Chains A and B, each alone.
Chain A
Amino acid sequence: MANGWFRKRKASDEFPEGLWVKCDKCRELLFKREWERNLKVCGKCGHHFRLSAHERIELLLDEDTFVEHDADLISTDPLQFPGYRDSLERYRKSTGLTDAAVSGDGQLAGHPVSIAITDAHFMMGSMGSVVGERITRAVERATDRRVPVILVSGTGGGARMHEGLLSLMQMAKTSGAIARQHAAGLLTIVVLTDPTMGGVTASWGMLGDFHIAEPGAMIGFAGLRVSKQANVSKVPSDFQTAEFQLGRGQIDRVVPRRELKDTIALLLRFAGAPSVDTTEASAAPA
């Protein structure tokens, strides 16, 4: 945790004066330092707090291996949608991100990977042109380099309505890139974190060779209100949680945050992902 993203970011739910944090779920007061050491998981009830994209990178990638790509892409409000520019500006300030996805290259347990992460702190992680382009390029880089791509979703907002059809088309664009990664026999791992909804679930969020979810994460298609309206049948108490999706066969495993990286590392090894050692060995003169 040398980069210190777990300490740097200011969470809005801190209380009081940044020494204590209240658990969203069990309302327990948690000593902040301990909570951070616990990767922002409640020590009492196991609730997994949302992480920022940079915290995810720190959690998953080997130290100092991440190289960000495409950070210079910015939304231009192509539809002149009411209030969109102001929203973008506000979230840029509050998160320090240029948009809701961070992408780049790095290593995971010594395996070179391409990675893209959506961050719920930026417009609920919704996918517009920039997010779609960053994810697509991340997948394409993986295909070009013949390495795995790891896609981490923290998108509660689905396709970003402020860019209308252009956002809807990001579902097709990202899925098309994954189709090529798939056809090339290369690995895609999807990590579903809280929240993953709508157009992201209905595109790249469900297109991994492996689907890993964090405990308690909200994962689903339509909002609960819409789902309830659409049907009189009883709504299960765990509806649209990681555990619900596990029970319905939609994800492979629910993995606690602390075990996430190790689990992914095993899957990379199963899939025969190149590792830095073998890459260097094969690059070395015979």
Chain B
Amino acid sequence: MAGKLEEFERPITELEEQIERVKVLTREQSMDRSSEIAALEEEKDRLLAELYMNLTNWDEVRVARNPKRPYALDFIRLMFQDFVELHGDRLVGDDGAMIGGVARLGDRWVTVIGQQKGRDAQERHKRNFGMARPEGYRKALRLMRLSEKFNRPVICLIDTPAADPSVPSEEHGISEAIAHNIRDMFLIKVPIIVAITGEGGSGGALGIGVGDRVLMLQHSVYSVIPPEGCAAIIWKDAQRGNDAAEALRLTAKNALELGIIDEIVPEPLGAAHRDYDTAAKNLREALERNLDEVEPLSETDRLEARYQHFRRLGVFGVATTALEE
């Protein structure tokens, strides 16, 4: 299975422990060792910068999946005011893996939607590991329609390993729910800003992933298939996630190069899990700036630009001579 974030963060952890020991010593022996501590802190920052500058794609996957990473409700708490969570698809149920509600972003009222993961066993069960079911996608679309009615923009926060692949989800039309959302997000008249904050897992991500702007947090990933699944198909070896992660070009930098996204939102030193406030502040700034840019457009122009953003994606050639039969 996926290697742990702890593996490559070990040198940092060791330094942190060392700093802690020195601090304890300081207290016990009442000696001033602040310069030593400062030097160690400096060394830690240098190491963090170096480490996070040189992440492999597989490392990025581990950072994006890190359970300490801020989740949708963390971002919502830190970026928005007056969040009123709303539940249910009005058909069969409420999906804990897909959250949504109305809130204020600065002086704007918006609708915010996102996949939510859990940190402990109970919460993970409730949130279905962030894998939304048909009810979740339908709830999301219901809230987008509501937002459209009251002319408020929509913010989508993506963090999902995949859409729920279980038997009940298949029975309730998971494909149709995702497809329907993708189609209708091209028709929703109010601005939609999409931000991938953690894992952008394939169709599960795309089900709330169409918008006027698509942003990715610096250490989030976006992929057509989990690297382990890809490796299992290509090399018959799920352990080769490392190689698959390289081949799939799934990092924020890759996605920007491929023209899939509009912007990379920088994360604090050592990634979002080390400093929620800075991560949320950066994301909020990017959301507001992008809203400022797309709001003045007429509805027609905005929908046309949204279509064209996705319309131009794809790389192919034109054969000049007939291919060999």
Which residue of chain B lies nearest to A79 when distances are taken between CB atoms in the complex? B249
Chain B interfacial positions (CB closer than 8 Å to A)? 131, 162-176, 178-180, 182-184, 186-187, 202-203, 206-207, 209-210, 222-225, 230, 233-234, 243, 247-250, 254-255, 258, 260, 306-307, 310-311, 313-319, 323-325
- Interchain CB contact under 8 A, B175 and A205: yes
- Interchain CB contact under 8 A, A179 and B223: no
Which residue of chain A lies nearest to B308 when distances are taken between CB atoms in the complex? A176
Chain A, 218-239, CB within 8 A of any chain B CB: 220-222, 226-228, 230-231, 233-236, 239
Which chain A residues lie closer than 8 Å to B186 at the CB level?
175-176, 179-180
Which residue of chain B lies nearest to A201 when distances are taken between CB atoms in the complex? B175
- Interchain CB contact under 8 A, A83 and B234: yes
- Interchain CB contact under 8 A, B175 and A250: yes
Chain A interfacial positions (CB closer than 8 Å to B)? 72-76, 78-79, 81-83, 92-93, 96, 98, 128-130, 132-133, 136, 159-161, 163-173, 175-180, 182-183, 198-199, 201-207, 220-222, 226-228, 230-231, 233-236, 239-240, 248-250
Which chain B residues lie closer than 8 Å to A170 at the CB level?
313-314
- Interchain CB contact under 8 A, B168 and A233: yes
Please give me the 8 A-B residue pairs with the lowest Cβ-Cβ distance, nearest first. Answer: A222-B165, A129-B314, A231-B166, A78-B315, A179-B186, A201-B175, A206-B179, A169-B313
Which chain B residues lie closer than 8 Å to A96 at the CB level?
325
- Interchain CB contact under 8 A, B224 and A165: yes
For the A-B complex, the count of residue pairs with Cβ-Cβ distances under 8 Å equals 201
- Interchain CB contact under 8 A, A76 and B225: no
CA distance A132 to B187 in the complex (A): 20
- Interchain CB contact under 8 A, A82 and B234: yes
Interface of A is mostly: helix
- Interchain CB contact under 8 A, B169 and A221: yes
B170, B183, B234, B248: the one contacting A175 at CB < 8 Å is B183
- Interchain CB contact under 8 A, A164 and B224: yes
CA distance A128 to B260 in the complex (A): 14
Which residue of chain B lies nearest to A136 when distances are taken between CB atoms in the complex? B311
A93, A136, A161, A183: the one contacting B324 at CB < 8 Å is A93
- Interchain CB contact under 8 A, B311 and A176: yes
Which residue of chain B lies nearest to A172 when distances are taken between CB atoms in the complex? B310
CA distance A249 to B222 in the complex (A): 31
Given contacts A165-B260, A172-B209, A250-B173, list 10 more A-B pairs with CB under 8 A: A74-B316, A75-B316, A82-B243, A93-B324, A129-B316, A172-B206, A176-B306, A206-B173, A221-B163, A227-B165
CA distance A118 to B89 in the complex (A): 33
